Structure 1
Amino acid sequence: MITRSSGILMHITSLPSPYGIGTFGKEAYEFIDFLVKSGQKYWQLLPLGSTGYGDSPYQSFSAFAGNPYFIDFESLEKDRLLKKEDYVDLDFGRDREKVDFEKIFKNKMAVLRKAFENGKEKYEEDMKGFKEENKDWINDYGLYMAVKNQFHLKPWQEWDEDIKLRKKETIKHYEEILKNEINYWVFLQFLFFKQWKTLKKYANEKGIRIIGDLPIYVAEDSADTWANSEIFLLDEEKKPIKVAGCPPDAFSVTGQLWGNPIYRWDFLEQTGYEWWIHRIKDSYKLYDILRIDHFRGFESFWQVPYGEETAENGEWVKGPGNNLFYAIQEALGDIDIIAEDLGYLTQEVIEFREETGYPGMKVLQFAFDTREESDYLPHNYDKNCIVYTGTHDNDTVCGWFENTKKSDVNFAIKYLKLNEEEGYHWGFIRGAWSSVGNLAVAQMQDFLGLGSEARMNIPSTIGGNWQWRVKKEDLTDQLAEKIYKITKLYGR
Structure 2
Amino acid sequence: MTRGRRVAGVGLHISSLPSAHGIGDIGDAARDVIPELASMGFAVWQVLPCGPTAYGDSPYQPLSAFAGNEMLVGMSPLVRGGLLEQAELDELEDLPVAHVEYGELIPRKRRLLDRAAGRFHDVADRRTRADYQAFLARSAAWLDDYALFRILKTMHDERPWVEWASCYARRDAAALAQLRDDHADALESVRITQYFFDRQWRVMRQRAARAGIALMGDLPIYIALDSADAWARPDLLRLDAEGRPTHVAGVPPDYFSADGQLWGNPLYDWARHAEDGFAWWIERMRHTMAMCDLVRIDHFRGFEAYWSVPGGDDTARNGQWEPGPGQALFDAINGALGEVPIVAEDLGVITPEVDALRQYFGMPGMKVLQFELANPGFDPATLAEDCACYTGTHDNDTTRGWFDGTGADTRSDAEREATRENALRLTEGQPEKICDDVFRLALHSGCRLAVAPMQDLLGLGSDARMNVPGRTGGNWRWRLSPGALTGDRRLAVRAMIRTAGRELPDSLH
Q: TM-score, normalised by structure 1?
A: 0.97
Corresponding residue for residue 428 of structure 1? 438
What is the correspondence of 1:207-222 to structure 2 with a 5 Å cutoff?
A: 207-222=212-227
Counterpart secondary structure, 1:453: helix
Report the Cα distance in structure 2 between the residues aligned to 1:92 and 1:439, rounded to whole angstroms: 39
Letter in 2 for 1:432: A
CA distance in 2, matches of 1:251, 1:15: 33
- 1:113 Cα deviation (Å)? 1.1
Distance 2:449 2:209 in 1: 18
In structure 2, give the amino acid aligned to 1:59.
Q
Matched residue, 1:206: 211
Equivalent residues in 2 for 1:37-436, closer than 5 Å: 37-90=39-92, 93-94=95-96, 96-123=97-124, 125-370=130-375, 377-403=379-405, 405-420=416-431, 423-436=433-446
CA offsets 1:295-341 (integer angstroms, 9 cap, x no match): 01000001111122221221111100011001111101112110011
State the SS of the aligned residue for 1:303: strand
User: SS at the partner of 1:463?
Assistant: coil
Once the two structures are superposed, what CA deviation does each residue of 1:230-278 show, in whole Å capped at 9, x if it has no partner? 0000001111111111112233232111111100000100110000000
- Contact kept, 8 Å, 2:82 with 2:123, in 1: the verdict is no
Residues 233-242 or 247-256, more deviating: 247-256
How far apart are residue 93 of structure 1 and its match?
A: 2.4
Report the equivalent of 2:506.
none
- Deviation sequence 1:125-184 (CA, Å, 0-9, x none): 543332111100001101111111111111111100111001111111111111111111
Contact persistence 1:92–1:100 (CA under 8 A): no
In the alignment, residue 486 of structure 1 is paired with which amino acid? M
Aligned-partner Cα distance in 2 for 1:312–1:122: 57
Q: Check conservation: 2:83, 2:123, Cα contact below 8 A.
A: no
Identity level (%): 40
Which SS does the other structure have where 2:146 is aligned? Answer: helix
1:449 and 2:451 matched:
no
> What is the distance in 2 between the residues matched to 1:418 and 1:117?
59
Cα deviation, 1:456-492, whole Å, max 9, x if unaligned, reads 0011221110000010110111111001100000111
Partners of 1:92 and 1:147 lie apart in 2 by 31
Query: Taking structure 1 as reference, are residues 92 and 262 closer, same or farther at Cα in structure 2, changes over 3 Å only?
Result: farther
**If the length of structure 2 is used for normalisation, what is the TM-score?**
0.93
CA distance in structure 2 between the aligned counterparts of 1:89 and 1:66, rounded to whole angstroms: 23
1:433 is displaced (CA, Å) by: 0.5
Q: SS of 1:8's equivalent?
A: strand
Of 210-219 and 172-181, the range deviating more from structure 2: 172-181
Q: CA–CA distance in 2 between the matches of 1:295 and 1:61? A: 21
Specify which of 466, 473, 478 is matched with residue 476 of structure 2: 466
State whether residues 91 and 103 of structure 1, in contact with CA within 8 Å, keep that contact through their aligned partners in structure 2.
no
Counterpart Cα distance in 2 of 1:412 and 1:179: 59
TM-superposed deviation, 1:77: 0.3
Q: Is the 8 A contact 1:92 1:107 kept in 2?
A: no
CA distance in 1, matches of 2:403, 2:253: 25
8 Å CA contact 1:254, 1:311 repeated in 2: yes
> How far apart are 1:2 and its partner, in Å?
4.7
Instruction: Report how many aligned residue pairs link the two structures.
Output: 487
- SS of structure 2 residue aligned to 1:343: coil
SS at match of 2:483: helix
The CA distance in 2 between the partners of 1:26 and 1:175, in whole Å, is: 34
Distance 1:321 1:52, change over 3 A: same
Which residue does 2:14 correspond to in 1? 12
The residue identity in structure 2 corresponding to 1:427 is D
Measure, in 2, the Cα distance between the counterparts of 1:2 and 1:145.
Answer: 43
Deviation at 1:205, TM superposition (A): 0.9
Output the CA distance in 2 between the equivalents of 1:418 and 1:484: 22
Q: Tell me: CA distance 1:89–1:363, structure 2 relative to 1, closer, same or farther (3 Å).
A: same
Instruction: Write the distance in 1 (CA, Å) between the matches of 2:192 and 2:313.
Output: 39
Name the aligned partner's letter for residue 119 of structure 2: N
Matched to 1:435, the amino acid is: S
What 5-or-longer segments of structure 2 have no aligned partner? Answer: 406-410, 503-509
Query: Could you tell me how far 1:89 is from its partner in structure 2?
Result: 4.2
Instruction: Check 1:89–1:236 CA distance in 2 against 1; reply closer, same or farther (3 A cut).
Output: closer
Aligned residues of 2:6 and 2:447 also touching (Cα < 8 A) = yes
Aligned to 2:33: 31
**Gaps (5+ residues) in structure 1?**
none
Is the contact between residue 424 and residue 431 of structure 2 (CA under 8 Å) also seen in structure 1? no
CA distance in 2, matches of 1:133, 1:329: 20
Q: Name the SS for the 2:151 alignment partner.
A: helix
Counterpart of 1:308 in 2: which secondary structure? Answer: coil
**Cα distance in structure 1, aligned partners of 2:32 and 2:54:** 29
Report which stretch shifted further, 24-33 or 276-285: 24-33
Q: Confirm or deny: 8 A CA contact 1:81 1:115 kept in the other structure.
A: yes
Contact kept, 8 Å, 1:69 with 1:108, in 2: the verdict is yes
Find the residue that maps to 1:88 and give its secondary structure: helix
Counterpart residue type for residue 79 of structure 1: G
Equivalent-residue separation in structure 1 for 2:296 and 2:488 (angstroms): 30
Aligned partner of 2:507 in structure 1 is none
Matching residue's letter, 1:307:
G
1:92 and 1:108 in contact (8 A); partners too: no
